[in-house]
């Protein structure tokens, strides 16, 4: 539907010791790079799980975000 925000999903791998708010900041940077000038909003971290062999030194996080519709304002909520 025209004028509706586009929802995207992605994954990011980060060191296990990294605080959640840093992971969210890295995910926002990655989303902004992929958005090619569109405004990213409402980024939500999802589940994470250990990766990196037996050590499990990293975690892979899923996340979703919305892109503001072209020429429109992002929804700000109720």
pLDDT, one tens digit per residue, over 5-45 is 899 999 999 999 999 999 999 999 999 999 988 899 999 99
In a domain, 37, yes or no: yes
In a domain, 17, yes or no: yes
In a domain, 28, yes or no: yes
User: How many folded domains does the chain comprise?
Assistant: 1
What region does 59 belong to: left with phi over 0, alpha with psi -120 to 50, or beta?
Answer: beta
Enclosing domain of residue 20? 6-67
Q: What is the CATH number of the domain that holds 29?
A: 3.30.70.380
In a domain, 57, yes or no: yes
pLDDT given at position 19 = 96
Q: Are strands 40-51 and 58-67 parallel, antiparallel or unpaired?
A: antiparallel
Contact predicate 65/8, CB 8 Å: yes
Beta bridge partners of 51: 58
Reported pTM:
0.79
In a domain, 59, yes or no: yes
């Amino acid at each position: 539907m025209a004028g509706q925000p586009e929802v995207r999903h992605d994954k990011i791998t980060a060191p296990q010791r990294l605080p959640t708010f840093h992971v969210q900041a890295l995910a926002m940077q990655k989303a902004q790079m992929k958005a090619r000038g569109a405004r990213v909003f409402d980024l939500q971290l999802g589940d994470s799980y250990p990766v990196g062999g037996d050590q499990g030194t990293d975690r892979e996080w899923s996340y979703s975000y919305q892109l503001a519709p072209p020429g429109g304002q992002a929804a700000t909520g109720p």
